Structure 1
């Protein structure tokens, strides 16, 4: 089963370092819009903090174009980057970590900040519950109405997800299916329809 882990819950975890409160909030954000909303909610839940630092992976864990980070006024490289490095090592996708800092009066220095921001995210990730997002490709099925029952049977056997449906002279469905199941899906479908119906890849 191809896929990657994503957050199943949202977790908030606090670390106290020399009077400063570091609160890591980690949750599922499958899009840039969701990430922005997540940050806004953290700001509303913990108002008037000194900093709201960010690290996020919008897509798959190894997709560099989906990375985002922000030091939000902390010295450059002391917050967002160490937080992002933690997320990357965890191999979790579609995830945002916001660390809310309330300054406690004692400066921690560059190294101290890096350790604090990374540590609180590490501890939060240890508490985070995850689930596996299964990767699916999109396919097309065209068939006569008489073959509807056979198609329904194959879809149920292989957990195919229905996208769109058109009912004209023939039925046209778009399905989402795990790529490694396609050959077996077609084999069952051919057996049920005497070879009349075959799954076709969706063209871009």
Structure 2
């Protein structure tokens, strides 16, 4: 992927395996925050009741995200589930991804090494089968135009894959935009051309 885009899960994927009589169910899904992860975890507990463990990990932003991410061993030995799961996700070159691995204990202990292989292995085997979409990295901007200019501005925004996230109507129209990083220069130039230099994009400072 280029610097301004990355892959994200298109839909949920589930992989079920039996390892030494324990049942492991790996669920991969789109996840942008810990709040979304916890919602998915609630659904997993509903769909797979009475399991022994519900271990999880997520990367909430771009691939290799080191801030908006997290993991849990959920009662397994420390470092045997959540962290190995997170390491696989961070190395997958897929962003906004969550993983939950549900374990029904089969009576045979796997040891720490066996648990690491079981919890991370399901994700490794599931990732190549996961359907993905493309997420564009975007910057926030605003533009103020007259009502007569609105249709032209909307046309140019659509041309450059810019999302209009809000409109405020008063004497003029204020548009809140999400502009793909790779399109900023071209969009700015086209806006200037169609308005004969009257309109200006104002990008939000990060």
Same fold (TM > 0.5):
yes
Decide whether the 8 Å contact of 2:34 with 2:60 is kept in 1.
Answer: yes
Instruction: Pick one of 187, 190, 195 that aligns with 2:189.
Output: 187
Query: What stretches of structure 1 move > 4 A for 4+ residues in a row?
Result: none
Corresponding position of 2:101: 99
Q: Deviations over 1:145-176 (max 9, x none)?
A: 23223212312321221122122222211111
Corresponding position of 2:134: 132
Q: Deviations over 1:111-160 (max 9, x none)?
A: 11111111111112122111111111111111222322321231232122
SS at match of 1:105: coil
Decide whether the 8 Å contact of 2:157 with 2:163 is kept in 1.
Answer: yes
Corresponding position of 1:48: 50
Q: Deviations over 1:50-81 (max 9, x none)?
A: 11111111222222112211111111111111
For this pair of structures, how many residues does the alignment match? Answer: 204
TM-score for the superposition, normalised by structure 2:
0.92
Deviation, structure 1 residue 30? 1.6
- The CA RMSD measured in Å over matched residues stands at 1.6
Deviation, structure 1 residue 203? 5.0
Q: In the alignment, is residue 60 of structure 1 matched against residue 69 of structure 2? A: no
Alignment of 1:4-153 (within 5 A): 4-153=6-155
TM-score for the superposition, normalised by structure 1:
0.93
